[in-house]
Amino acid sequence: MDIIHLLPDSVANQIAAGEVIQRPASCLKELVENSLDAGAKHVDIIVTDAGRTLLQVVDNGMGMSPTDARMAFERHATSKISKAADLFNLHTMGFRGEALPSVAAVAQVEVLTRRRDDEVGTLLRIEGSRVVEQNEAQCPAGTNFKVKNLFFNTPARRRFLKTNSTELRNIINEFYRIVLVNPDVHFTFTSDGELLFDLPASSLKQRIDNVFGKSSRKSFASQLVDVKAETAVVSIYGYIGTPESATKQPQQYFFVNGRYMRHPYFHKAVLTSFAGMLAPEQQPHYFIYLSLNPELIDVNIHPTKTEIKFADEQMIWQILLAALRESLGKFNITPSLDFDREGDLDIPSSVNINPDNVHAPEVRVNQQYNPFNVNHTSNPAGWEKLYQPVAHSIVSAASDTLPETDLPTVSEQALFPADISLAQPSQYKERYILLPSADGLLFLDQHRAHAAVLYRQLREQISSKKGVMQQVLFPEVLDLSAEDSALLLQMKDELRSAGFEITQIARNSFSVDGVPAELGNSNPLRVLLDILHAVSETGVTTREQWEHRIALALSEAAAIPAGKTLQEDEMRDLVERFAALQDTSYSAEGKRIYALLSDSEIKKMF
Ligand code: ADP
Ligand code: MG
């Protein structure tokens, strides 16, 4: 007897719902995105019991015909794309045609909808994928969508929901991600009868202020600085918070083509631009909007994933960093740049970089060039020389901030010189150790040098399973997504070798009972999350690559920070440990660790 058969649609839809509708917040996101795709300019959101009892979205969008209203609940039914090629040219939020059948499979759904030119509208009720009513109805133009008793027929999922306050917070986070890209739409948000947000159509800056302004005494918008860059590859606009407004709970948002995204690498570009300006643990607010040709990005990864792949991440990273620095500089926020120019040569490690394969880019750094000084003369050739690792297409973007040439340069030093004098090491800007040598003056980045030392040491400890673990007094709990938990479990051995003692306490919850001794006071949860993000972002799967990522995140977190004053013996100790390394010019992430200002260059200055 044959035993294979097709699953009934209702079951298939329930399975799909597990992916698309994980919690009330994801359901709300799907509904509101549909309203926006339908051209709505006014959207009311009403939730009861954090969406458990009711999630309602009322819009003034285009509405649906009676047949379309019924069709909308079929699997893979969509009005938004019709052929595979459309996937690479998306102009709507939705395109999978999965949301409504998924919602209807796990809730009691009621839709009232009318197109503007129709005289009567449609009422449709569906419960657990079964149509229980379809009738003509009087209703305003647009669509009024009610989702009642989410997961009523999947008790396991219903139990899986967190407390109302957590679920409401998730919903509000999702709401932020939507309203911050649609300032021209009027949104209201009511929870358990209380109007929490009323956001009239406005400018972007006003919208940000309307959303976040209430919580601070100062106007939120007054602490924001414009960011702007127009290039052939990408245009960037938005706002960053001033360093003074940095907090432990910053509002940080990246959007690409109107879609929220999480992007740890671009996040690093922001932090890099603020390097040395923030107190430890404090981070800046940012609202950064990228737009680029949809063919150059891939949003088609997963319905609930917020990661987005870019065809040319490194170039965008460079453009973003340049734009951020320009903004900070324009508003006189950057204290002074000096040798920070080398930062522009940082290569973000969006792919796993084998430290042994990193070649020194041939770059002459003009350390007197101040990009924030807008009065210098144009010289595209000079710019290209300065930014050789960056492709030509950004030259046009940056052409109004071009450097002068023929100034002294800090040159590349292939081998760490053996003849440096340790007699009187001194510190420059609490960031570089200055070391006179026979050939000139060497600048050693204290943080990167220490990170390089720790990285080597950690790689050895991890591969020989000799990481030193330190018990923690009050174990912290790490709550993860299902994917991150799976990843954490896969990497458990490597993490343990590094010194992490992690116990699974619930399906996606772990308690961190021991941490690597190197970590000192750094936040272990943050480091673990960094590791997980780096690994999932780059998709690395070999143990060796995991070890690289673990060592990298730990050494980054544990290394002496920029901004720390060092005693002479601390400097000597660090320099000696660093000089003993084999491969010293670049960090494991491909960043330059030291540079030499040569004698002849110093002479040229006078
Ligand atoms: P997708 O958004 O991926 O197309 P959905 O399952 O979310 O798939 O929606 C299916 C279809 O239902 C949409 O393509 C759209 O035509 C229609 N639809 C859904 N919500 C609305 C709405 N609020 N107003 C008008 N049409 C809608
Ligand atoms: Mg949709």
CA 173 – CA 25 distance, rounded (Å): 8
Q: Are strands 42-48 and 54-59 parallel, antiparallel or unpaired?
A: antiparallel
| Domains 9-194 and 204-330 agree in fold | no
Q: What are phi and psi of 204, to 5 degrees?
A: -60, -45
Give the bridge partners for 262, in sequence order.
307
Q: What DSSP letter does each residue of 171-222 carry, written as one string?
A: HHHHHHHHHTT-TTSEEEEEETTEEEEEE-S--HHHHHHHHHGGGSSS-SGG
Cα-to-centroid distance, 154 and ligand 2 (Å) = 22
Q: Are strands 142-148 and 108-114 parallel, antiparallel or unpaired?
A: antiparallel
| 475-494 residue pLDDT tens | 888 888 888 888 899 888 88
Under the banding of pLDDT at 50, 70 and 90, the label for residue 547 is confident
Which residues form ligand 1's pocket by a CB distance below 6 Å?
A: 30, 34-35, 37-38, 59, 61-64, 72, 77-80, 94-100, 143
Exposed/middle/buried for 31, CB within 10 Å: 0-12, 13-18, 19+?
buried
Q: Which residue lies with its CA nearest to atom 27 of ligand 1?
A: 34
For ligand 1, mutation pick of 78, 124, 144, 259 (most atoms within 8 Å of CB) = 78
Nearest ligand 1 atom to the CA of 99 is 6
The per-residue pLDDT for 598 is: 84
Q: Which residue lies with its CA nearest to atom 12 of ligand 1?
A: 72
Cα-to-centroid distance, 134 and ligand 1 (Å) = 17
Q: In terms of Cα–Cα distance, which of 84, 104, 87 is closest to 12? A: 104
Count how many Cα atoms sit within 13 Å of the Cα of residue 483 in the half-sphere of its side chain: 10
CA 369 – CA 303 distance, rounded (Å): 46
3-state class (DSSP) for residue 154:
coil
Q: Are 181 and 255 in contact (CB under 8 A)?
A: yes
Cα-to-centroid distance, 38 and ligand 2 (Å) = 10
Neighbours of 587 (CB within 10 A): 26
User: According to CATH, what is the number of the domain 387-606?
Assistant: 3.30.1370.100
Q: Which residue lies with its CA nearest to atom 2 of ligand 1?
A: 94
User: According to CATH, what is the number of the domain 9-194?
Assistant: 3.30.565.10
| pLDDT reading at 460 higher than 50 | yes
Per CATH, is 204-330 categorized as 3.30.230.10?
yes
Under the banding of pLDDT at 50, 70 and 90, the label for residue 351 is very low
| pLDDT reading at 405 higher than 50 | no
Count how many Cα atoms sit within 13 Å of the Cα of residue 28 in the half-sphere of its side chain: 32
Cα-to-centroid distance, 518 and ligand 1 (Å) = 52
Average model confidence (pLDDT) across the chain: 80
The per-residue pLDDT for 409 is: 36
CA 390 – CA 372 distance, rounded (Å): 19
The per-residue pLDDT for 51 is: 95
Cα-to-centroid distance, 142 and ligand 1 (Å) = 12
Q: Which residue lies with its CA nearest to atom 7 of ligand 1?
A: 99
Count how many Cα atoms sit within 13 Å of the Cα of residue 316 in the half-sphere of its side chain: 26
Q: Which residue lies with its CA nearest to atom 17 of ligand 1?
A: 72
3-state class (DSSP) for residue 479:
strand
Question: Of 319 and 544, which is predicted with more confidence?
Answer: 319
The per-residue pLDDT for 154 is: 86
> Which tokens hold the place of 600?
């002849």
What pTM did the predictor assign? 0.59
C-alpha distances (whole Å) from 117 to each of 58, 63, 140, 408, 566 are 18, 10, 11, 72, 74
Cα-to-centroid distance, 39 and ligand 1 (Å) = 11
Q: Give the dihedral sign, CA 318/324/328/329.
A: positive
Exposed/middle/buried for 481, CB within 10 Å: 0-12, 13-18, 19+?
middle
Q: Which residue lies with its CA nearest to atom 19 of ligand 1?
A: 34
List of E strands, 276-321: 286-291, 297-298, 309-310
> Which tokens hold the place of 500?
């992490």
The per-residue pLDDT for 55 is: 97
Q: Which residue lies with its CA nearest to atom 23 of ligand 1?
A: 35
Cα-to-centroid distance, 26 and ligand 1 (Å) = 15
Among the bound ligands, the one closest to the CA of 103: 1
Among the bound ligands, the one closest to the CA of 80: 1
Q: What are phi and psi of 425, to 5 degrees?
A: -65, 145
* Ordered alpha helix ranges (H), 138-182: 155-160, 164-179
| 111-134: burial string, b at 16+ Cβ within 10 Å, e else | bbbbbeeeeebbbbbbbbbeeeee
| pLDDT reading at 127 higher than 90 | yes
Under the banding of pLDDT at 50, 70 and 90, the label for residue 92 is confident
Q: Where are the domains of the chain?
A: 9-194, 204-330, 387-606
For ligand 1, mutation pick of 30, 34, 43, 91 (most atoms within 8 Å of CB) = 34
Q: Which residue lies with its CA nearest to atom 21 of ligand 1?
A: 34
Neighbours of 219 (CB within 10 A): 10
Cα-to-centroid distance, 33 and ligand 1 (Å) = 9
Cα-to-centroid distance, 261 and ligand 1 (Å) = 22
Cα-to-centroid distance, 328 and ligand 2 (Å) = 38
Under the banding of pLDDT at 50, 70 and 90, the label for residue 216 is low
For ligand 1, mutation pick of 26, 27, 28, 37 (most atoms within 8 Å of CB) = 37
The per-residue pLDDT for 482 is: 81
Nearest ligand 1 atom to the CA of 57 is 23
Under the banding of pLDDT at 50, 70 and 90, the label for residue 81 is confident
The per-residue pLDDT for 576 is: 86
| pLDDT reading at 393 higher than 80 | no
Nearest ligand 1 atom to the CA of 100 is 6
Cα-to-centroid distance, 29 and ligand 2 (Å) = 9
Cα-to-centroid distance, 570 and ligand 1 (Å) = 63
The per-residue pLDDT for 344 is: 36
For ligand 1, mutation pick of 9, 73, 100 (most atoms within 8 Å of CB) = 100
- Residues whose beta carbons lie less than 5 angstroms from ion ligand 2: 34, 94, 99
567 contact partners, CB below 8 Å, separation of at least 6: none
Among the bound ligands, the one closest to the CA of 90: 1
| 143-168 residue pLDDT tens | 999 999 999 988 888 887 888 888 99
573 contact partners, CB below 8 Å, separation of at least 6: none
Nearest ligand 1 atom to the CA of 30 is 7
Under the banding of pLDDT at 50, 70 and 90, the label for residue 331 is low
| 27-46 residue pLDDT tens | 999 999 999 999 999 999 99
Alpha carbon of residue 595 to chain centroid: 31
| 568-606 residue pLDDT tens | 888 988 988 888 876 666 666 667 888 888 888 888 888
Planar angle of CA 14, 18, 21, nearest 5 degrees:
100
C-alpha distances (whole Å) from 194 to each of 49, 189, 395 are 12, 8, 52
Cα-to-centroid distance, 99 and ligand 1 (Å) = 8
The per-residue pLDDT for 584 is: 67
Count how many Cα atoms sit within 13 Å of the Cα of residue 153 in the half-sphere of its side chain: 20
Q: What DSSP letter does each residue of 547-560 carry, written as one string?
A: HHHHHHHHHHHHSP
